[in-house]
Structure 1
Amino acid sequence: MMMNKGFIMLFRELTEWEWYTDINTYKVFTHCLLKVNYSKKRWQGILIQKGEFITSYEKLAVETGLTISKVRTSLKKLDSTGYILVETTVNYTKIGVLRLHDFMAETSTENNSTPNDTRLDKPNSKQLTNESQVIDNQLATTNTNNKTIKNRKKIFRERVFSHSTFNTKILTSFFDYWSELNTDKTTMRFETQRFFEIEKRLPKWLANERPKLESNKKKTELQTNRPTI
């Protein structure tokens, strides 16, 4: 299921991540980045997608040096904030890392390839860009049932409205636009973006919306002040 060779490249922006200073959660998450598959594989009749891997709480505890309780708590934090999806069954636990390319750049893990696709060919820059977009979309729509969509939408709304320095109308219009679902009702608009930082996009959104708000305000004032006949 896993390759122990190769390497991964992390973006420097990871130091600004909300869980970066939570040692246990950061450790569990980076461990997941190292463990995920980078090509589709089958395990005991189950298809494991790119960005997913099969494990257990006990195995993660051994591999990270944390207690099972700490592993469980860290996974719960990551799951509730929309960074991973955890599917637990009687026999195994499957973890999928969502929006993988927000944290790391895909690199070659092996120099050779085999017919059964257990290794990846080293991509050139053009292939890397195209695969990045495809994989990001696949991971963003993993386990896309209605409940998961609702949870992701709720999490996104909470993140947007946590920026209370902005006008409620601005936050509402921003959320309504970026949370719009695709035709299959599986992916929100913002999830199709390779990079998406609310903190950087909100000021730009405000700058674009301000002329509209001022125009609407003037129209309202004109109608209110219009003399009656």
Structure 2
Amino acid sequence: MLENGFIVLHRKIVNWEWYKDPATHIVFEHLILTANYEEKRFKGEAIHRGQRVASYGTLAKETGLSIQNVRTAINHLISTNEVTRKSTNKYSVFTIVNYDLYQDKRQANQQSTNNQLTINQQSTNNNETKITTINKEKQIYAASAAHTNGRRTDNPGRTDF
């Protein structure tokens, strides 16, 4: 399952007709979160952006809902044209009708770019930290050597060095 990236979820979803129906809300958001963000192949069939291959049983297991709750939620989403379903004898392909409203292509590309920038930034920060630590150690050693040059250090009562 996808664990990286993000989706767009506008605040106006609180006015959506299925917002207060927990099962429908959960199933819809779960489909958005788990839908393909780029085309892939599954058993010889192209699964497009915004689509998800699953069964009612799979969705029930992933969401913690009963199969009947998932079936009812999908029927709600189909009735209001948020989702379509194409069935085979083993699985269904669920399509989020306006997927680009929830996951813009530019954002998907930006996610990839941001991940690379983050990795590079972490590498640069680690190198800078190492250099700073080495320089501090050199400065401390140089400073303590400068304070003791030409002075007596055998008097434990002296504090001026």
TM score, norm. by length of structure 1: 0.46
Match of 2:129 in 1: none
Pairs within 5 Å for 1:98-109: 98-102=97-101, 104-106=102-104, 107-108=107-108
CA–CA distance in structure 1, aligned partners of residues 95 and 52 of structure 2: 7
CA–CA distance in structure 1, aligned partners of residues 41 and 20 of structure 2: 35
Pairs within 5 Å for 1:8-47: 8-47=7-46
Q: Is the 8 A contact 1:84 1:95 kept in 2?
A: yes
CA–CA distance in structure 1, aligned partners of residues 96 and 69 of structure 2: 19
Q: Deviations over 1:69-108 (max 9, x none)?
A: 0000000010011110011211111100001244x24223
- Secondary structure of residue in 2 paired with 1:53: strand
**Aligned AA (2:91):** Y
- Secondary structure of residue in 1 paired with 2:108: coil
Q: Is the 8 A contact 1:35 1:53 kept in 2?
A: yes
**Aligned AA (1:19):** W
Match of 1:55 in 2: 54
Q: Is the 8 A contact 1:11 1:105 kept in 2?
A: no
Pairs within 5 Å for 1:102-181: 102=101, 104-106=102-104, 107-108=107-108, 110-111=111-112
CA–CA distance in structure 2, aligned partners of residues 100 and 8 of structure 1: 10
CA–CA distance in structure 2, aligned partners of residues 101 and 46 of structure 1: 21
Shift in Å, 1:38: 1.0
The CA RMSD over aligned residues, in Å, is: 2.1
CA–CA distance in structure 2, aligned partners of residues 83 and 8 of structure 1: 16
CA–CA distance in structure 2, aligned partners of residues 105 and 59 of structure 1: 23
Q: Which has the larger radius of gyration?
A: 2
Runs of 4+ in 1 over 3 A off after TM superposition: none
Match of 2:65 in 1: 66
Q: Matched residues, percent identical?
A: 36
**Aligned AA (1:111):** S
CA–CA distance in structure 2, aligned partners of residues 108 and 39 of structure 1: 9
Pairs within 5 Å for 1:70-81: 70-81=69-80
TM score, norm. by length of structure 2: 0.64
CA–CA distance in structure 1, aligned partners of residues 29 and 82 of structure 2: 12
Q: Which has the higher contact order (CA 8 A, sep 6+)?
A: 2
| Gaps in structure 2 of 5+ consecutive residues | 117-161
**Aligned AA (2:61):** V
Q: Is the 8 A contact 1:57 1:72 kept in 2?
A: yes
